[in-house]
Amino acid sequence: MKHWIAIGLMALLAPAYGQDILMAEADRYRLGLGEEVRVSFRFQGKGDRFEPPEMGGDWAVLSGPNRSFQTSIVNGRMSQEQKYDYLLRPRKMGTLILGAARIRSKGKWIESKPLRFEVSKSAAPPTDQNDPRARAARNSFMKIRASKRKVYVGEPLVLEYILYYNDAEMPQQQEDLDIQGFYKQDLEVPENEQKGKEVIDGKSYDTYIFKRQLLVPQLSSASISGQALVMIPTYLPSKRRDIFGRRQMELIRQRVMLSAPKLEVRSLPQENRPASFNGAVGQFRFQMDLSREEVEADGSVTLNTQLSGTGNIGLLNLPEPRFPTEFEAFDPEQKQSIRNTSGGQTGSIRSEHLLIPRYRGTYRIPAVRFSYFDTQKKDYVEIVQGPFELKVSGGQEAPAAGQLRTPLPSAGSSKQSLTLLDQDIRFIDLGNVRWRRLGDSGSVLWWALGVLPFLLVAMAQLLFSRQKQRFQNRAEIRASKAFRKVQRGIRSLGKNPEEEHSDRLHALMEDYLFEKLGIGRSEMNAERWSKLLLEKNIEGATVDRLIALYTSLLGGRFAPGGTDIGARSEELLSALEELEKQWR
């Protein structure tokens, strides 16, 4: 009786088990900020148009979707499974919800369940001081250094990302700080400032300025928050030795979270602010001079203006003087000489106004005012240059002559209309002119010479694009055939002598990387091709596996016959097949 009841229950539940389900799962649900989590979506059945969940600003997608398909036949019944893998990293702490994914099957959308994660500040550091991660953290680390902690609005400061190391490679920045309300500019670091030495807690480190940024707060609410994520490839001596007895190095990829420096941005005071203030903050010198005080009509005179000092000089404009309407004023010629240093911006801005007075008389150029906020005095400073007087002799008298002329309020850099004199008129010698009706065609030779250059340019561009496409197609074809060439090479190993197997496998692996990455033979080394693979978002574990296999095959060339060639061949095929799945 019990057997019949069990059979009945199975018959009732069979339709439920046969339903299509999209399952979501993760390898862990508690992690630290900056750590990675692998999330998988599995679907049993036939489906299409898979749509991942909305990541939003909570997750950084490191890789994915990595798709895999599996078909199995049991008792003559075929079943299919689809799998979509993602490698994610949280961007903030707290409880994060990864929404539902969905896939279409049999005309209907099927959704997965959302996943819930708890993200803490950081992963617990290893308690064992001999742990590779603890040793790597002592060997190399990074700091963010701010040139100032308290600044006024408009006062520049510099952020420096400094690497402290003993044996490490160039860091790779994966996420930056959240900088709001600042003018930001990346600065080049001179070679003589990039490297140095520093002692921390009695231990000497080499230092390298990895990144330098100039920040100028534009608002009192400007802020720097979040954390910067940097990956530091660090080498540690391992217990293994190569065939020559030399100690081998172990590569540890540290992921370091750098907290934002705490800054205080102060508002500029409203008290005693001059009307001429236009946002200059720092310490400045402002000078103006007229090239001469007397000139003849239709002669030229230059008004020179120079602003120099330290502060936000790269964001400033020189004040514009106003000129009498009897002057012809040309657009100023401006020159800048500004240096960005670890302390901020310093340099000068110069401008030259070319003026041509048209009438005789005595004219006045009004005074020019420039003001700035002095961060040392913590007060405003106003500099006044002028007024300037210019005596013009010769030429005609201007209307209402005999008194000092002041400029119109809106004159700006307006120009006086040109007065035509007798010597200004130049007649055009027409000579023997042959007229032709508008629309008449020229000769055949004229048309040929006019059209031929355009045809030649078009043909050259067409040939160049076809040649470029041909080379690109060749490179893609070679890359797609690289894995099949390795397979054929391994199948032919049985025809070669035993002592040549390791050498042949090593050559096959180099040929594959050469054609896949398109690099020269002279660049074929583990350091070079491992960097290129990481830049193409190949997983670090896969790259480490290839490096170990490459080193093993290289050692086998000098000690043949000591290992199972069949196992090495399978390992090489498995590693390259894993790389092919991640290749995009």
Q: Determine, yes or no, domain membership for 199.
A: yes
| Residue 380 and residue 354 in one domain | yes
Q: What pLDDT does 6 receive?
A: 47
Q: How many CB atoms lie within 10 A of CB 361?
A: 21
Which residue reads 């990074």 in tokens?
142
**Can you spell out the DSSP letters for 166-198?**
SSB---EEEE--EEESEEEEEEPPPHHHHEEEE
Tell me which residue range forms the domain holding 392: 283-420
Look at 171-185, 415-429, 493-507 and tell me which has the smallest mean pLDDT.
Answer: 415-429
Spatial CA neighbour of 405 closest among 353, 368, 365: 365
Spell out the residues 6+ positions from residue 393 whose beta carbon is closer than 8 angstroms to its own. 294, 295, 296, 297, 360
Region 459-481 average pLDDT: 65
Section 440-445 average pLDDT: 61
What is the Cα–Cα distance from 553 to 513, expressed in whole angstroms? 14
In this prediction, residue 364 carries a pLDDT of: 92
Domain assignment present for residue 462? The answer is: no
Do 500 and 554 belong together in one domain?
Answer: yes
pLDDT digits 0-9 by tens, 101-144? 888 887 788 888 889 898 887 655 555 556 666 777 777 888 89
State yes or no: pLDDT of 49 exceeds 90.
no
Please state, as a whole number, how many other Cβ atoms lie within 10 Å of the Cβ of residue 443: 8
Q: Are residues 159 and 113 part of one domain?
A: no
- The single-letter code of the amino acid at 223 is S
**What is the distance between the alpha carbons of residues 501 and 556, in angstroms, rounded to a whole number?**
9
Tell me which amino acid residue 405 is: R
Total count of domains within the chain: 4
Q: pLDDT band for position 550 (50/70/90)?
A: confident
Give pLDDT, residue 78: 66
pLDDT band per the 50, 70, 90 thresholds, residue 427: low
Looking at the predicted structure, is the pLDDT value of residue 390 above 70? yes
Query: The domain that contains 44 carries what CATH number?
Result: 2.60.40.10
The pLDDT of residue 422 is above 80: no
Give the pLDDT band of residue 284 (cuts 50, 70, 90).
very high
Confidence of residue 524 (pLDDT cuts 50, 70, 90): low
pTM of the entire predicted model: 0.52
d(Cα 534, Cα 583) in Å, to the nearest integer? 11
The SS3 of residue 268 is coil
- 159-198 pLDDT per residue, tens: 999 888 887 767 777 678 888 889 988 888 888 888 888 8
Residue 504 in contact with residue 493, Cβ under 8 Å?
A: yes
Residues 164 and 88 in one domain: no
Tell me what pLDDT residue 286 has.
94
Cα dihedral across residues 266, 267, 268, 272: positive or negative: negative
Q: At what angle do helices 540-556 and 526-535 cross, to 10 degrees?
A: 160
- CA dist 157 and 150 (Å) reads 9
Is residue 371's pLDDT more than 90? yes
**Burial of residue 147 (number of CB atoms within 10 Å: 0-12, 13-18, 19+):** middle
Matching residue, tokens 């210019």: 390
> Residue 260 in contact with residue 225, Cβ under 8 Å?
yes
CATH number of the domain enclosing 332:
2.60.40
| Contact between residue 141 and residue 269 where contact means Cβ atoms under 8 Å apart | no
Rounded to an integer, the average pLDDT of 469-489 is 64
SS3 string of 266-278?
A: ECCCCCCCCCCEE
Residues 54 and 136 in one domain: no
